[in-house]
Chains A and B, each alone.
Chain A
Amino acid sequence: MVTIDGLVKRRGGREILSGIGFSARPGRVTGFLGPNGAGKSSTLRVLLGLDRATAGTALIDGVPYARLRDPLGTVGAVLDGSGAHRARTGRAHLRWVARSAGLPRARVDEVLELVGLTHAAAKRVGTYSLGMGRRLAMATALLGDPAVLILDEPVNGLDPEGIRWIRTLLRERAATGRTVLLSSHLMGELAETVDDVVVIDAGRIVADGTLGEVTGAHRTLEDAFFALTGGGSRLTGGGAR
Chain B
Amino acid sequence: MTAARALAAELSKLLSLPATWLTIAGTLAANLLLAVAFAQAALRGTAATRDVVDVGLASIGYAQAGFVVLGVLAACSEYIGGQIRTTLAAMPHRARQLAAKHLATAIVALPAAALTAFCGVALTALVLGDTPATFGPILGVTGYLLLTTLIGVAAGALARRTLVAVAVLLGYFFVAGPLLRDNLDLAKYLPDTAGAAMWFPAGGALTPAQGALVLTAWTAALIAVALAGHHRRDA
Residue of B nearest to A144 (CB): B90
A163 CB-CB contact with B under 8 Å: no
User: How many chain A residues touch the partner (CB < 8 A)?
Assistant: 36
| Chain-A contact segment, one of B63-71, B75-83, B170-178, B205-213 | B75-83
The verdict on A71 contacting chain B, using a C-beta distance below 8 Å, is yes
- Set of chain A residues within 8 Å of B131, measured between Cβ atoms: none
Contacts of B203 in A (CB 8 A): none
A71 contacts B92, C-beta separation under 8 Å: yes
In the bound complex, CA of A52 to CA of B92 (Å): 13
Contacts across chains A and B counted by CB atoms under 8 Å: 93
- Chain B residue at minimal CB-CB distance from A49: B92
Q: Are A50 and B85 in contact (CB under 8 A)?
A: yes
Q: Complex formed: what's the CA distance from A97 to B91 in Å?
A: 9
Is the CB–CB distance between B89 and A95 below 8 Å?
A: no
Tell me if A25 counts as interface (CB < 8 A to partner B): no
Check if B228 is an interface residue, CB within 8 A of chain A: no
Specify which of A65, A83, A96 is in contact with B81 (CB 8 Å cutoff). A83
Rounded to whole angstroms, the CA-CA distance of A48 and B94 in the bound complex is 13
In chain A, residues 84-120, which have Cβ atoms closer than 8 Å to a Cβ of chain B? Answer: 84-89, 92-93, 95-97, 99-102
Q: How close is A79's CB to chain B, nearest CB, in angstroms?
A: 6
Q: Known contacts A86-B81, A125-B81; is A48 also within 8 Å of B234 by CB?
A: no
B29 at the interface (CB under 8 A from A): no
- Give the interface centre of B10, B80, B82, B86 by most chain A CB atoms within 10 Å: B86
Q: Shortest CB–CB separation between residue B8 and chain A, in angstroms? A: 4
Quick one: which of A77, A93, A102 contacts B89, CB cutoff 8 A? A77
Residues of chain B within 8 A of A100, CB atoms compared:
5-6, 8-9, 90-91
CB of A48 within 8 A of CB of B85, answer: yes
Q: Beta-carbon contacts of B1-15 to A below 8 Å, as 1s and 0s? A: 100011011101100
Given the known interface contacts A87-B18, A96-B12, A102-B5, the answer about A50 and B86 at a Cβ–Cβ threshold of 8 Å is no
Q: Any chain B CB within 8 A of the CB of A68?
A: yes
Give A89 to B81 CA distance when docked, in angstroms.
13
Distance to closest chain A CB from B99 (angstroms): 14
Contact at A75–B12, with CB atoms within 8 Å? no
Cα A80 to Cα B16 in complex, Å, equals 23
A-contact 0/1 string along B74-111, CB 8 Å cutoff: 00010011110110111111100000000000000000
Given the complex of chains A and B, what is the CA–CA distance between A221 and B43 in angstroms? 84
Interface centre among B12, B82, B89, B93 (most CB of A within 10 A): B89
| Contact assessment for B83 and A51 in the assembled complex, using a CB-CB cutoff below 8 Å | no
B41 at interface (Cβ–Cβ under 8 A)?
Answer: no
Residue in A49, A66, A77, A87 whose Cβ sees the most chain B Cβ within 10 Å: A87
Q: Are the C-beta atoms of B12 and A84 separated by less than 8 Å?
A: no
Q: Measured between alpha carbons, how far is A49 from B235 in the docked complex, in Å?
A: 9
Residue among A52, A66, A96 making CB contact with B13, cutoff 8 Å: A96
Take A51-B234, A85-B17, A85-B77 as given contacts and tell me if A99 and B12 are in contact as well, using a CB distance cutoff of 8 Å. yes
Answer whether residue B19 sits at the interface, using C-beta atoms and an 8 A cutoff: yes
Whether A99 and B8, one on each chain, are in contact in the complex, defined by CB atoms closer than 8 angstroms, is yes
Please encode chain A, from 58 to 86, with 1 for each CB lying within 8 Å of some chain B CB and 0 for all others.
00000001111001100101011111111
The 8 sampled A-B contact pairs (Cβ below 8 Å) are A48-B85, A66-B93, A68-B92, A84-B82, A84-B83, A93-B16, A97-B86, A100-B9
Seen from chain A, the residues whose Cβ lies within 8 Å of a Cβ on chain B are 45, 48-52, 65-68, 71-72, 75, 77, 79-89, 92-93, 95-97, 99-102, 125, 140
Q: A52-B234, A96-B9 are in contact. List 9 more A-B contacts (CB 8 A).
A: A49-B89, A50-B235, A51-B234, A66-B94, A79-B82, A84-B81, A84-B82, A86-B81, A87-B17
- List of 7 A-B pairs having minimum Cβ-Cβ separation, nearest first: A100-B9, A92-B16, A96-B12, A83-B86, A51-B234, A50-B235, A100-B90
